[in-house]
Structure 1
Amino acid sequence: MKHRIVQIGPITPPADARLARDYDVTPLWKEADPAAFLAAHGAQFEGVAVHVRDACGAGIIDALPNAKVIANFGVGYDKIDVEAARRKGMQVSNTPKVLDGCVADLAMGLAIDVARGISTTDRFVRAGGWKTGQRPLMTRVYGKNMGLLGFGGIGQAVGRRAAGFDMAVRYHTRRPVEGSPHQHEPSLPALAQWADFLVVACPGGPQTRHLVDAAVLEALGPRGILVNIARGSVVDEAALVEALQTGKLGGAGLDVYENEPNVPEALLAMDQVVVLSHIAGFTRESRAQMEATVCDNLDAYFRTGQVLNPV
């Protein structure tokens, strides 16, 4: 007998195929009334598979009295009510470290793009502008100050890359990270004031909502550059737009937004802003690792009673 799991939404074709092969899977997104379906049949399920984009809140968790594991496809888990799951004795897993390198690569790419005007110069050349003029002077990246908001796996990977550019690195977290060669800055505004680049690499969720506010952006300053590869909720988007429009902030490289996939028109109109479509982890290599990890966590739980990557 295969273990019965409910899948909140589609993950990827390879992951969906492996789950369907190894488990008795119910695709919840195909039900006309998911809440009514779970109210009638929720007791049948032993586990949950969920994509990072899909919510798994207390309503779903409470409707699954016999489920003991939630396997999340993604590093972030802010759309899962982890406390509700823990109250019911459910284990929650994610796919950590898989994305660290690719996300860190993109963070550096955004920093370089905004500082050197790569995207804007590409548009300038394509439009024929080089035939009649030249782009303005931009700023270098090497030797500058890199501030990191968050210093988990991704933040540390960004720090290693920044060190390769001869950058000074400091980070802000609630507590210093033991063994780090970089200086811990207990004040986020102070870190922003020191930094030329501020990379947001902390988890999303209520505790970090709008942590980067108008005061932090003003501290970063008119030549400072904000890079966000974490969650859009961490940055006060209205304050960001205002800081960029008034010149209080020099530029921004953004992969995430408060209301994805909606990006404020004001950001789209600014040449000092590079906008991406939440692609930091979008590589063939990281995707294959994530597909394997979400399934491996379920397999481990049903084999041993413990997930491999508890959150």
Structure 2
Amino acid sequence: MKPSLLVLIPLDGDSLADISASFDLIHAPTPMQRTETIARHGDAIRAVLTNGTTGLTAAEIDRLGQLEFVSALGAGYENIALDHARARGIVTVNGAGANDNCVADHAFALLLAVVRDVPRRDRATRDGVWRDVLPMRPTVSGKRLGIVGLGNIGEKVARRAAGFDLETGYHNRKPREGATSRYFDSVLSLARWSDYFVVTTPGGASTHHLIDKTVLDALGPTGFLVNVSRGSVVDTAALAVALKAGAIAGAGLDVYEGEPHPPEALIALPNVVLTPHVGGTSPESVAATVRNFIDNATRHFAGEPVLTPI
């Protein structure tokens, strides 16, 4: 008999079919379906597949009496009640590494788009506006790029930066062994040094509003911010004020507070490029994250160690 699996996130048909080959799958991607499914099938569910944004609450864990395995599809797990799960002896895993290249690619796409002002120039061209009436934009190459959170994604951003002749620095809680980028012991000192500021740190309480008014002021009027981590890491209100006042030059955001609702304070601003949390999404990365989940879950239910424990 296949283990019963509750999937709380939207997945395409191919992904669901792949998972269904090994698990008795219940798909409940909406809040109403989620509540109804847990109430109806809670006593039978042994595994849950979610992500960092959707999460899994302590109250929900308590309603799932047979639960023994929880997986975040991507790297993030900030809204999973991790301590509560561990107290129950539930194995928790994530998809660390499965979509790192995609996220790093997207970070650079946002950086290029906002520094070179690609969206507005696209619109100008369609409206028949020629370059002579448009202000010139900075060259991307030859500057300083600061990375907040030099994990796997941050390291891949640094590798891409080398191709643009960018000097790279980073801030972690402690220096990363073997890192070739310059280490800064505070976010503030890194911001003062940087022309471009790319945020790839995990979300959660410890990084909530890590990028605040003080950091944005340190980045300065010629600095650009890119966030591909979690919306909670950047103080949206402070960012809106900084962008309006010219305290920073621009921002490229794939994540923002209040997802999935658009960031109302930012959407009318001309110096921000927004995408709807798609940085880690591509056919290749989705397939890799689903495969990682299947491998982890199969190993767990076979009594083997999981590959990417949290």
Aligned residues: 310
Deviation, structure 1 residue 58: 0.5
Counterpart AA for 1:231: R
Q: CA RMSD in A?
A: 2.0
Partner of 1:308: 307
CA distance in 2, matches of 1:253, 1:36: 38
1:123 match: 123
Q: Give the gaps of 5 or more residues in structure 2.
A: none
What is the one-letter code of the residue matched to 1:274? V
Counterpart of 1:44 in structure 2 is: 44
Alpha-carbon displacement from aligned partner over 1:127-168 (angstroms, at most 9, x marks no partner): 11118x431111111110000000100000001111121111
Could you list the per-position Cα deviations for residues 247-300 of structure 1 after superposition, in whole angstroms to 9, with x for gaps in the alignment? 111110111110112233442222221111111112111111112111221111
* Correspondences of 1:277-296 after superposition (within 5 Å): 277-296=276-295
Q: CA deviation at 1:33?
A: 7.2
Residue 15 of structure 2 is matched in structure 1 by 15
Structure 1 window deviating more from structure 2 (174-183 vs 44-53): it is: 44-53
CA deviations 1:193-233 (Å, max 9, x no partner) are 11000001011111111000000000000000000111111
List aligned pairs for 1:40-79, cutoff 5 A. 41-79=41-79
Percentage of pairs with the same residue:
39
Q: CA deviation at 1:31?
A: 9.5
Cα 1:142–1:5 change in 2 (3 A) is same
Q: What code does the residue aligned with 1:63 have?
A: R
Q: Distance in 2 between matches of 1:158 and 1:109?
A: 11
Q: TM-score, normalised by structure 2?
A: 0.94
CA distance in structure 1 between the partners assigned to 2:241 and 2:31 by the alignment: 43
Cα distance change of structure 1 residues 273 and 40 upon mapping to structure 2, 3 Å threshold = closer
Residue identity opposite 2:299 in structure 1: A
Tell me how far 1:81 sits from its aligned partner: 1.1
Distance 1:146 1:29, change over 3 A: closer
Whole-angstrom CA distance in 2 between matches of 1:37 and 1:228: 34
- Give, in angstroms, the shift of residue 37 of structure 1: 5.5
Q: 1:11·1:73 contact (CA, 8 Å) conserved in 2?
A: no
Which residue identity lines up with residue 71 of structure 1 in the other structure?
S
1:6 equivalent in structure 2 = 6
Post-superposition shift, 1:52?
Answer: 4.3
- 2:160 aligns with 161
Q: Distance in 1 between matches of 2:187 and 2:52?
A: 27
Secondary structure, counterpart of 2:138 in structure 1: coil
- The one-letter code matched in structure 1 to 2:233 is V
In 1: Cα distance, 2:159 partner to 2:222 partner: 23
Q: Which amino acid aligns with 1:164?
A: G
Question: How far apart, in 1, do the equivalents of 2:30 and 2:105 lie?
Answer: 36
SS of the residue 1:92 aligns to: strand
